[in-house]
Structure 1
Amino acid sequence: MSAVQRRQIGLPVWTDRRQPHRLIVACLVFMLAGRLIGVECEPRSWHWSGVGLLERLRLISLLETEFQETDLPMSVLMDEVAYRVTTWFETKGFLKATVSVKPPPIASDPAEVPEEAAGAPVLVVDCNRGPRYRLGGVQIQGASALTVAELEVTFLGGFDQFWPWSTRWFSDQAYRRGTGAVEAYYQRRGWTDVLVDPSDPILRGDGKVDVALAIHEGIRFMIQSIEVESEEPLRDEKTKALLDSYRGKPYRETVPSDLGVMVAYAYRAQGYPFCEVALEEEIDPETGSILLRYRVVLGPKGTVRSVGVRGNVRTAEPFVLKVAGLKQDRVYDQRAVDKASLRLARTRLFQTAQIAPRPIEGHPEEVHLDVRVEEAHTKEFSTMAGWGSYEMLRGSVNYTHRNLFHRGHQSSTGGMMSLKSERLYTDYTVPYIYGLNVSESVGAFWTHREEPSFERREYGVKEGLTLDVGSNAYLRGGYEFRQSDVYNIDSQEVQEEEGDAQLSLISMGALYDSRDSPVLTYRGLLINGNIEWGDQAWGSQVDFIRPTVQTSAFWNPLDRWVLAGSLRIGTEIRVQGGEQIPIQERFFIGGQDTVRGYREGEVGPRDEAGFPIGGERMVVLNLEARYRLWKELELAGFADAGQVAVLIEDDYDAAWQGGLGLGLRYRTPIGPLRLDWAKAVNRTRYDPSSRFYFSIGYPF
């Protein structure tokens, strides 16, 4: 069967191009992983009855954590185990569960003694779960200011659910959480003295539990006025606007202290590093109106005369001061101090970086800034193994040194390998060159990769500059020279493009990133634009300009929901009537990170035999709705669409291709483990109807 026929019926393509050493590496990695993660499913010290396999595994994990190393007497240990197991069942809705724990019966013949008894003591745990109860009716009494409907919704939020529509199993813990949620709901709206009295639960014969909440609302407290008394007026407009916004708002216990911190911060930004703020509250118990008065004791206005560094063992003091960027003979500004601390933290050279003002003896209006740092480990060796739907088994190894020459210079050397590709690289980065907030990096690389319709091997060098302009924005510029060799092209139409190509590219770009986390994002915006230009004038055999832009937005409208969207656009412009762009430089989309529902790189134009040939223009649109089911488990629904045009002059309207699907993710510190299923929309006869994808990390 030919490769083309295998593609048409949707079977995996194991071509003879893959080198045998990759299969050997894959086997070794799987064997090592099996040794690392191989554990016994059940310790030998427990015998169970009356519980299923999944419940048994959960209880074993709980008990091993609680009693892994204990010297309790046997009778006390049995009572503790019975209590823990009973409590666990009650949290799952089994309110009448009974658990007995006893040692195993003593055998008359020593040969009949179980092998397990030779080691840790064996405990027999007999469980009788009884009926399982779910929440029934909820009666709310005494609510006059807030509606019963909104209070019921708030109360039900205290009951954990795996699915939004799943059963709410009753437990005392969930009952207390729901009661506390109603009380907190009132307090956030100004009823600080509210009392929510829960009734005893009533167990019904049909497996439901009825509860009632008696609410004593009390007086609603509102902030009538906010005053700031100081020898110098408050000048920060944002702080004044924030204080004004709280007038007429409900009073909460945390509001006065939070506003006091903001007032103190604003005056420290005006040059008073040692100012103190005292709060006075005037409360009218009949109407509930509250006056907040902040009395500010300014102290002397400070001028920075000197800056010193403490705790820097491996990092040169001039470098620390350069990164901090604190200027002497300037009026003290708390905002500048906080920005300096943030810059020090971003270097990843320090576990902590704190900057504190200290008055100079005999000169009350002059301050010394103490920069106190705790250095982090600067040498890091890391390995990682994973799986991708296209590359299959993959792994990487990397060694990084973040503080060469005691001045924050960073070197990184490593390699990545999968069943489809290999890559070696080395990079060297110098931060804050020329005394500016600019970093420079140089590097070299070698890579080999099997694309869906060809193979390529590349090596080259690169250099780049990055300017941090502040407010989450960066400007970039760079140069890259690489030698690209493409071979084993499947398409007969472009086989004449086999061979070497020399590319010399100048690039410019800009980045804006306000995401709260680059790994597990809840909210924020990412805009990344870049332009690459290759020309014979600086040694490129291909003359073209390639602008690309990606925009991703994330919104967290509700507690468990994240809505995410991404738009990627790219164009390749032939300069001075140049020849068609080589196949290795064209756009290919489709697969786990672009348009799901299709094989890797197989969305867009094909030749007569059905092989993808890429194009000079592309658009990818992704929309996702993510819902956190339980703890770190997440469900997602998504829609993807994209298109590739062979030539820049071609029209996009001819054939858009898309995918609709569902995904299940488990979030980890390095990114989510992602399992996606997508159905292809507007597919060709070469595409499967649907596909599964397994990978690590979000698609955008």
Structure 2
Amino acid sequence: MSLTTPAHAAALFGLIGNTHIEIDGFGFFGNIELERSLEILEPQDEALQVFDEIYLEDALWILSGEIKRRGYLHPQITASISKDNQILWEGVWSEDEVQPEIPRSIEGDSVRFSIHSGILFYYDSIEIKGIPDEITQPTLTFFYPTNRLIVDSDDRYYTPGRFQGGLDSIIGSLRDLGYRRAKVTERNSIKDEATGAVNVTATIDPGPIVFVDTLTIEVESPGPLLIEETNEAGKTVMDTKQEGGFLLKDQKLEDQRFTPAWLLSEVQTIRKNYYTAGYPEVAIERDFEFLERSDERVVVQIKLIVAPGEQIHIADVKFEGTGKTNQALLERQANLKDGELLNRSEVERGRDKLSRLGIFRDIKVNYEDIGGGQWDVIYDASLKRQTAISLIAGVGSFDIVRGGFEIAQRNLWGLAHQSRLTAIQSFKATYADYTYTIPQVFGDDTDFFLSADYLRREEISFDRVEYGGTAGLQRYFSDINTTASAAYSYGLVDAKNTDFAVSPGPTRSLVSSVIFKANKNELDNPVFPTRGWQVFGTSEFAFTQLGGEVNFQRIEVGGAWHHPLDSQGLVLHTGLKHGVVTSVGSASENIPVPKRFFLGGENTVRGYRRDQASPVNSQGQEIGAVSYLLWQGELEQRLTELISVVGFVDAVGNAEQISEYPFNEVLVSVGVGISLRTVVGPLRFEYGHNVKKRTDDPNGTFQVALGFPF
């Protein structure tokens, strides 16, 4: 394949899929993004091979829309369609017209689009009047991102839709505070067609704050009144009575602002209760009566009129588009029974459980009224491809370059079983893993897995070889957003090519252990975290009674916290990890060398190479720690959309023997670096300088890594 165009180069590396579509003129990554926008015109899971006038017209509309959405309001696109490398037609799209016209019934095997974006229109100034002090968010952030030190014209691009979206966000924020009548009274935009500079102004009339005086819920008779009383004593007054063919429920409220979120919560509570009672068509009409009290305060009396509709039972549960998937498995996941009341909430819960099988691209729910107060529930699914192959690539200071592949198979035997084969090779390591998973084994969020793995890696003091098998259960606890697992593992750990004068532990051992893991993640973004936290814990208990040769207990816990310090992209990242490995018997006889802790490298103490920040023996050989405490702090300043600079401190305390717990030696690195945002995570170039080190330790180390360090 020729790499003469960005499109073909990107296709080679798996960024895009169809080499018959070529786009140029909008930058390397811009061309890729534009080509991805055309995927909607292609059939699922296969590349389009034949292109006609309909495809060209649709593609030109999509491309021009995407380019305009980025602030280039007057683009031109030169398009051509070819067959056997001969151009059949070529034309120019400009201002929503194409010249010459595309011939009817034209067909080719490739298309090309050359982008001439034209002038970038950008916000030069923004002036919004009338925003009350309750809105503390800086005005500019409603219109473009300011979470970076350098905000250039590309970040401040202007489109009419973006301007309207910013105004809508301001109005939405005001209504969330109870300014129900907030509106834009004036707006204006002045464009300089020569430079692209746009000056916009607008005036906001927030109006008065609206408070809820009373909430009345009327239920049409005949029909049940299914309203939960959730009010706190002393703050509200509840009254239930029957009058004029309606069941009434009046609620007196105090200091309750009339916000969309509050009203939605009330309506959803009512709707949920009726769904539970088998009323899937419940309708809730809303009626508002505003009572003027002052220029700054208005009260509203809200009436919700509930029409329950007919009570419905389930006639049958059907599954469509599920291929050869086992019917009993689907029924167990949906967990709906013929003849029971139709609860829409339970139907949606069934769809969620079906989705978590991991074999469906999407699932729609349809209903069919068969009369007599009975409906069929129909899950209309679309299956994922049974086999998917992915390429793996990465860089790092230790591995230098690594690459590999992953083969995933889904819905094996029609039972939603899954298998995953991963193989990775680098300059320093070979890794392979095969995992077989049976999802939802108990009809809940518990998966059973079997795995076999192999690892060979050159460590700084020895060559690590590990292989074995694991069987266990993993469960996701949705109510606390936590994943936990318990497993039994049996395998060999081997430290080859060691030349320790006195080995700190066995170099080759069969290890039989039970392993427990838990992880809770509350990050705003798992790849580029700026806010939130996460905690994890891993414990391994090895016993000879389980079939191994050693006894030890290895525990590792840690967490990270991320918090923005201002609105211009300054973020504080902190991490803390602690590990300890102990043994009831002699450590030198029971704790294998590969099970000791070897810190150092691009993700721990960055002034050292991998494994180098661990205890050393009298010959200067790294022998690992039985206990460590690692603290990492990092300040990240985002410069542009893609570039950040960081300053960091990494400190570790190590203990060579458990009697020195938690540590008796401290190593500290400080450093700076540059981080580039990529689609798979930050690409980091960092230098760590060792301010507290041992005599023979390096002064510092340059690191290259892909991914966030902690």
Q: TM-score, normalised by structure 2?
A: 0.70
Which structure dedicates a bigger proportion of its chain to helix?
1
Distance 1:436 1:55, change over 3 A: closer
Which amino acid in 1 is paired with 2:703?
Y
Secondary structure (helix, strand or coil) at the match of 2:473 reads strand
Give the structure 2 partner of residue 666 of structure 1.
677
Secondary structure (helix, strand or coil) at the match of 1:575 reads coil
Write the mapping of 1:199-210 to structure 2, written as runs, cut at 5 A: none
Give the structure 2 partner of residue 655 of structure 1.
666
- Separation of aligned partners in 2, 1:302 and 1:100: 57
Give the structure 2 partner of residue 534 of structure 1.
542
Distance 1:298 1:642, change over 3 A: farther
Q: Is the 8 A contact 1:223 1:292 kept in 2?
A: no
Give the structure 2 partner of residue 485 of structure 1.
494
**TM-superposed deviation, 1:602:** 1.5
**TM-superposed deviation, 1:449:** 0.8
**TM-superposed deviation, 1:318:** 0.9
Matched, 1:224 2:224: no
Matched, 1:440 2:433: no
Distance 1:157 1:268, change over 3 A: closer
Which amino acid in 2 is paired with 1:579?
S
Give the structure 2 partner of residue 234 of structure 1.
227
Distance 1:489 1:572, change over 3 A: same
Question: What CA deviation, in whole Å up to 9, does each residue of 1:16-50 have, x standing for no partner?
Answer: xxxxxxxxxxxxxxxx98994799xxxxx99xxxx
Write the mapping of 1:200-349 to structure 2, written as runs, cut at 5 A: 213=201, 215=203, 217=205, 219-225=207-213, 226-230=215-219, 231-235=224-228, 237=230, 248=255, 260-261=267-268, 263-284=270-291, 287=294, 288-304=298-314, 306-326=316-336, 331-349=341-359
- Separation of aligned partners in 2, 1:322 and 1:271: 21
Give the structure 1 partner of residue 111 of structure 2.
none
- Separation of aligned partners in 2, 1:370 and 1:438: 25
Matched, 1:619 2:629: yes
Distance 1:443 1:35, change over 3 A: closer
Secondary structure (helix, strand or coil) at the match of 1:228 reads strand
Question: What CA deviation, in whole Å up to 9, does each residue of 1:364-403 have, x standing for no partner?
Answer: 2x55433332211121122212212211111112222121
Among 580, 588, 592, the residue aligned to 1:582? 592
Give the structure 2 partner of residue 109 of structure 1.
none
Which amino acid in 2 is paired with 1:197?
E
Secondary structure (helix, strand or coil) at the match of 1:164 reads coil
Distance 1:631 1:256, change over 3 A: farther
Write the mapping of 1:67-146 to structure 2, written as runs, cut at 5 A: 135=124, 143=130, 146=132
Question: What CA deviation, in whole Å up to 9, does each residue of 1:580-632 have, x standing for no partner?
Answer: 52321101112122232321112131123433211111222334455655545
Matched, 1:610 2:599: no
- Separation of aligned partners in 2, 1:398 and 1:519: 20
Give the structure 1 partner of residue 183 of structure 2.
194
Secondary structure (helix, strand or coil) at the match of 1:699 reads coil
Give the structure 2 partner of residue 461 of structure 1.
469
- Separation of aligned partners in 2, 1:353 and 1:87: 33
Give the structure 2 partner of residue 185 of structure 1.
170
- Separation of aligned partners in 2, 1:476 and 1:654: 34
Give the structure 2 partner of residue 20 of structure 1.
none
Among 173, 178, 184, the residue aligned to 2:158? 173
Which structure dedicates a bigger proportion of its chain to strand?
2
- Separation of aligned partners in 1, 2:69 and 2:435: 52
Among 367, 370, 379, the residue aligned to 2:378? 370
Which amino acid in 2 is paired with 1:415?
A
Question: What CA deviation, in whole Å up to 9, does each residue of 1:414-449 have, x standing for no partner?
Answer: 321110011233222223436665332222222211
Question: What CA deviation, in whole Å up to 9, does each residue of 1:448-471 have, x standing for no partner?
Answer: 110121112222222212244542
Which amino acid in 1 is paired with 2:360?
F
Distance 1:244 1:400, change over 3 A: farther
Once structures 1 and 2 are overlaid, which stretch shifts more, 635-644 or 588-597?
A: 635-644
Which amino acid in 2 is paired with 1:570?
G
Once structures 1 and 2 are overlaid, which stretch shifts more, 580-589 or 513-522?
A: 513-522
Q: Is the 8 A contact 1:304 1:327 kept in 2?
A: yes
Once structures 1 and 2 are overlaid, which stretch shifts more, 344-353 or 293-302?
A: 293-302
**TM-superposed deviation, 1:310:** 2.1
Question: What CA deviation, in whole Å up to 9, does each residue of 1:668-693 have, x standing for no partner?
Answer: 1x434344444434233444444333
Gaps of 5+ in 1: 1-31, 40-44, 47-53, 72-82, 93-97, 102-118
Secondary structure (helix, strand or coil) at the match of 1:340 reads helix
Give the structure 2 partner of residue 154 of structure 1.
139
Q: Is the 8 A contact 1:134 1:170 kept in 2?
A: no
- Separation of aligned partners in 1, 2:155 and 2:588: 71
- Separation of aligned partners in 1, 2:37 and 2:476: 49
Q: Is the 8 A contact 1:588 1:644 kept in 2?
A: no
Secondary structure (helix, strand or coil) at the match of 1:595 reads coil
**TM-superposed deviation, 1:647:** 1.3
**TM-superposed deviation, 1:311:** 1.8
Q: Is the 8 A contact 1:309 1:370 kept in 2?
A: yes
- Separation of aligned partners in 2, 1:679 and 1:267: 64
Q: Is the 8 A contact 1:188 1:250 kept in 2?
A: no
Matched, 1:550 2:558: yes
**TM-superposed deviation, 1:361:** 2.8
Which amino acid in 1 is paired with 2:186?
D
Secondary structure (helix, strand or coil) at the match of 2:660 reads coil
Distance 1:261 1:59, change over 3 A: closer
Once structures 1 and 2 are overlaid, which stretch shifts more, 272-281 or 253-262?
A: 253-262
Distance 1:239 1:454, change over 3 A: farther
- Separation of aligned partners in 2, 1:210 and 1:133: 6
Which amino acid in 2 is paired with 1:568?
K
**TM-superposed deviation, 1:642:** 2.3
Among 424, 449, 460, the residue aligned to 1:416? 424
Secondary structure (helix, strand or coil) at the match of 1:612 reads coil
Q: Is the 8 A contact 2:275 2:343 kept in 1?
A: yes
Secondary structure (helix, strand or coil) at the match of 1:433 reads coil
**TM-superposed deviation, 1:303:** 5.0
**TM-superposed deviation, 1:315:** 0.9
